[in-house]
Each structure stands twice: as structure tokens, then as C-alpha cells.
Amino acid sequence: MVKVHLRKITRDNLKECLNLQVDNSQKSLVATNAQSLAEAYVDTNLFPFAVYDASVCGYEQPQAPMLGFIMYEIDVGGVGFIMRLMIDYKYQRQGYGRATMIEIIRRLKLHPDVEIIATSYRKENEVAASLYQSLGFTPWDIEWAQSHPTEIYVKLES
């Protein structure tokens, strides 16, 4: 099974992050990384990370390309919410999406303020639906989800 290594987005890897692309058919499923980084710039509850293969771990300068991007939010209600996940189209279907979710869940479980781990995806996103279900996410019947009818909200069963 592949493993990932997460790093902060810095001046050194910003361009690579902005250049990551999903497939054209997936563009409506996730915000651009530029938008996510702009949101994180003004919201200190958002934590964006670059995704690398775990072989990069331990090197000051990554020896392999950035593969994807993930961003989570720690909200005041005790929710660790995985807001964004994307793997560049060139590296999809190699296990990196699943490995990134496993790593983020591991981190969120260690966070003292997080009591619920949750995420959402667009209704038509069958790949995300089945990936999250296989990781143990189940429908999250939270009131404000009703005002976002195009989105499915799920939370991790503890």
C-alpha cells in the first residue's frame, strides 16, 4: 500500500501546488488550489497541505513531485472537517487519494479539539462516495446540510 507525506505549502512549493490539475471531467467536483489557498490565507481555522509520496519524508527538498492537495478545517464545534482533497490527474488511481485520507484521519484523531471527523462531496461524485464509505464514513444528518442540497455530508463512525 502506498503511503503519503504531507508538507506545508511554502514559497518553495507554491507554484507546484498551483499547477496541480484534476481531470477536466472532475473540475466541477473540487475548488481550485488557488481558491483553497486564498481561503486559508484569510481563515486561520483552515490547514492546507501538499501531498507527496512517503519516499520524500526526511529530505529538506522533496526528491519527488507534489501529487495532490488536501485542506481541513478545525471548527469551534469540535469538528475536523476535510474540506478539500485532490490528486493530480497524472497520479490518480495509484492509491494516493486513499492514503491521503488515512493520513489526515490519523492526524485529526490526535487533535485535542476534534470530536467529529467529517467531510462532504458533490452528489454526483461517485468515486468520493465509495472511497469515503470504504473508510468508514456514514451519512451525517446535520441541520445546516439541508441548506446545501447539492452536497452530501458524511462523518466518520468512531
Ligand X SMILES: CC(C)(COP(=O)(O)OP(=O)(O)OC[C@H]1O[C@@H](n2cnc3c(N)ncnc32)[C@H](O)[C@@H]1OP(=O)(O)O)[C@@H](O)C(=O)NCCC(=O)NCCS
Binding site for ligand X (CB under 6 A): 22, 26, 29-30, 84-87, 92-98, 121, 125, 127-128, 131, 134
Least distance CB 34 / ligand X (angstroms):
15
Least distance CB 87 / ligand X (angstroms):
4
Residue 97, CA distances (Å) to 25, 86, 136 in order: 17, 7, 15
Helix (H) or strand (E) holding 86: strand 79-87
Least distance CB 2 / ligand X (angstroms):
8
CA nearest to 4, candidates 88, 96, 66 = 96
Which residue has its beta carbon closest to ligand X? 97
Least distance CB 57 / ligand X (angstroms):
18
Helix %, strand %, coil % for the chain, to 5?
35, 30, 40
Q: Which is nearer to ligand X, 60 or 104 (CB)?
A: 104
Q: For 24-49, what is the HEC assignment?
A: HHHCCCCCCHHHHHHHHHHCCCEEEE
Q: Which is nearer to ligand X, 11 or 69 (CB)?
A: 69
Q: Which is nearer to ligand X, 114 or 152 (CB)?
A: 152
